[in-house]
Amino acid sequence: MKLLVLNGPNLNMLGIREPEVYGSATYAQLCEQIRAHAAILGAQIEIYQSNHEGDLVDKIQAAYGSVDGIVINPAAYTHTSVALLDALKAVGIPAVEVHISDVSKREDFRQISFVRQYCERTIVGHGFAGYLEAMDYLMGAHNES
C-alpha cells in the first residue's frame, strides 16, 4: 500500500513556529516518525510539504491511480481552500485530515474545515501521533476492502 502525506503552509517551520501550540519538535523529526511508522506498517510513503495551494492540488491530482490513501494536514488552507476539497473529491482516494493542535479549542476561524467534507476521519490535538493514527486507519481500511 502506498500513502501520501501532505502538509500545508508553515509546517516546515515546526520547532520554530509557536512551540507553545505545536511543540518543539521539528518538521524533519515529524518526517522521521512518519517514515519509521510506514516501515513498521509495510507501507510505501511519500511525504510532501508546500506553502503553495496549487502545489498541493497538483500533488493530490498526481496521486490519482498511484496512491491508496492520503494523510493531509492542510494547515491554514484547511479554513480557506475549496480547491483542496475539490482535488480530493476528484481523485476519490481515501483521506484522513490531521491537525497537530486541537483546532476545536482555538480561534473561531479555525472551526471551519473545507477538506473535512471529504475526509473519512479527522484527527486533532494528538501532536505528531495523529499522523501515525491516520496511517493506521488508512492501512486498516484498505485491508478490510
Short-list 93, 59, 54, CA closest to 77: 54
Instruction: Identify whether the C-beta of residue 73 lies closer than 8 Å to the C-beta of residue 49.
Output: no
pLDDT number for residue 23: 72
Q: What is the pLDDT of residues 75-87, one digit of tens each?
A: 999 988 999 999 9
Torsion of CA 41, 75, 83, 3, to 10 degrees: -10
pTM: 0.92
Structural domain including 117 reads 2-144
Q: What is the pLDDT of residues 44-73, one digit of tens each?
A: 999 999 999 999 999 999 999 999 999 999
CATH number at residue 62: 3.40.50.9100
- Which residues have a Cβ under 8 Å from the Cβ of 39 and sit 6 or more positions away? none
The three grid cell numbers given for residue 53, joined into one nine-digit string = 495551494
Q: What is the pLDDT of residues 20-31, one digit of tens each?
A: 766 778 999 999
pLDDT score of 145 more than 60: no
Active-site annotation, residues: 22, 99
- Domains held by the chain: number: 1
